[in-house]
């Protein structure tokens, strides 16, 4: 069948893309006419497959997700099919595939499931990048976790492949600006420098890009360090939007119905609404316990009353372990708070007087 006939018959590009990714014989034969024979490992695009050590991250606004790009991403293989049918020259085709891989990776970096799936397909099939089924499985897994049906189905065909554990270089953030050191008051009145989170914690937070994006947007409005909010989400729900505890704590920040009502949350299973409620509660607890992160964590887990009763972290195994988990992730004992916003508990006044 001639190429022009294919183009006339499959005029909607999205239909042709669907055929390509479902291994339809007609679409595969069209691609075979322009099969890439050069050694793609020599391309500049192989830099995309390079793995690097994750560094602390602040997610920035994804400039790549413009309306024009997103339109193309509605059908993840549209650009691939267009290139396959347009270019017969191997060198040009390779170069264009590499460019598409770069575009997809930028969108995948900001949590676009279609782009993650398409880039995985490119790694599985060696289009513009070196064939690497481990990286393909990693990308398919990222998309599948967001409910991408084709990614789930394709991932099933790679059941024996262990996904790559280190993120692609193109999925990592740009080098962050120099950290700003903040002097914070400790509970005993002394000052301490605000420490950054560990690289391992940064990698964990960044791997949850969709949630991190919401937290980065909302946290400044509540004067909360995004890393503190992410630490609570990690420990409370392990980033599961639909998490429900035996005590009916709900959503990402595990708000019980009374707390949700207290801070105006109508649907605790909506990520943004839940995070707003959790941030509002953290802001209150930070002001109440004068920025003491351990007491805030204990109160979030066991309740403010329990912390007041025991004049510190309650002697509950669950709460003490919870406080340690938060401390390990956040790496700071203190956090800025709104002074004179709420009345502090009596035992903190006693602490100051005796100190």
* Structure confidence by residue, pLDDT tens digits, 95-146: 788 888 888 888 887 778 888 899 999 999 988 889 999 999 999 988 888 8
User: pLDDT value at position 86?
Assistant: 61
- The catalytic residue positions are 236
Long-range pairs for 84-87: beta carbons < 8 A, 24 or more residues apart: 84/20, 84/30, 84/31, 84/34, 85/3, 85/6, 85/7, 85/30, 85/34, 87/34
The predicted structure's pLDDT at residue 277: 97
35 vs 33: CA distance, rounded Å: 6
Task: Enumerate the CATH 1.10.530.10 domain ranges in the chain, comma separated.
Answer: 183-354
Q: Tell me what pLDDT residue 18 has.
A: 39
* Tens of pLDDT, residue by residue, the chain (355 residues): 443 443 333 333 343 333 333 333 333 333 333 333 333 333 333 333 333 333 333 333 333 444 444 455 555 555 665 665 565 456 666 678 888 888 888 888 777 888 889 999 999 998 888 999 999 999 998 888 888 899 999 999 998 988 887 778 877 755 543 333 343 444 444 444 567 888 889 989 988 999 999 999 999 999 999 999 999 999 999 999 999 999 999 999 999 999 999 999 999 999 999 999 999 999 999 999 999 999 999 999 999 999 999 889 998 999 999 999 999 999 999 999 988 888 888 888 665 545 5
Give the pLDDT confidence of 78-109 residue by residue, as tens digits. 566 566 556 545 666 667 888 888 888 888 87
Q: Which helix (H) or strand (E) holds 192?
A: strand 191-193
pTM of the model as a whole: 0.50
Answer for the pair 38, 90: CB distance below 8 angstroms, yes or no.
Answer: yes
CATH class entry, domain 183-354 = mainly alpha
């Amino acid at each position: 069948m001639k190429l022009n006939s294919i183009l006339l018959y499959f005029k909607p590009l999205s239909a042709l893309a669907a055929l390509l990714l479902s291994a339809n014989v007609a679409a595969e034969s069209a691609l075979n006419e322009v099969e890439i024979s050069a050694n793609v490992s020599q391309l500049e695009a192989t830099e995309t497959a390079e793995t690097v050590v994750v560094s602390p991250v602040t997610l920035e606004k994804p400039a790549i997700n413009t309306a024009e790009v997103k339109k193309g991403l509605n059908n993840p293989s549209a650009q691939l099919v267009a290139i396959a049918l347009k270019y017969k020259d191997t060198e040009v085709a390779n170069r264009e595939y590499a460019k598409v891989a770069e575009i997809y990776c930028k969108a995948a970096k900001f949590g676009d499931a279609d782009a993650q799936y398409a880039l995985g397909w490119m790694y599985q099939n060696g289009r513009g990048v070196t064939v690497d089924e481990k990286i393909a499985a990693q990308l398919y897994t990222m998309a599948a976790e967001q409910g991408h049906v084709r990614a789930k189905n394709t991932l099933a065909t790679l059941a024996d492949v262990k996904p790559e554990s280190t993120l692609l270089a193109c999925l990592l953030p740009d080098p962050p600006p120099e950290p700003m050191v903040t002097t914070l008051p400790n509970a005993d009145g002394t000052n301490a420098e605000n420490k950054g989170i560990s690289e391992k914690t940064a990698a964990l937070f960044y791997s949850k890009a969709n949630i991190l994006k919401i937290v980065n947007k909302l946290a400044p409005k509540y004067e909360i360090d995004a890393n503190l909010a992410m630490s609570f989400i990690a420990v409370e729900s392990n980033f599961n939007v639909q998490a429900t505890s035996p005590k009916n704590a709900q959503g990402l920040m595990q708000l019980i119905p009374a707390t949700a009502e207290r801070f105006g949350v109508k649907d605790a299973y909506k990520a943004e609404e839940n995070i707003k409620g959790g941030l509002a509660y953290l802001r209150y607890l930070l002001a109440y316990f004068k920025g003491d992160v351990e007491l805030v964590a204990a109160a979030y887990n066991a309740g403010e009353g329990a912390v007041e009763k025991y004049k510190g972290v309650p002697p509950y195994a669950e709460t003490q372990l919870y406080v340690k988990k938060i401390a390990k992730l956040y790496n700071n004992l203190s956090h800025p708070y709104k002074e004179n916003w709420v009345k502090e508990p009596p035992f903190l006044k006693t602490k100051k007087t005796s100190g």
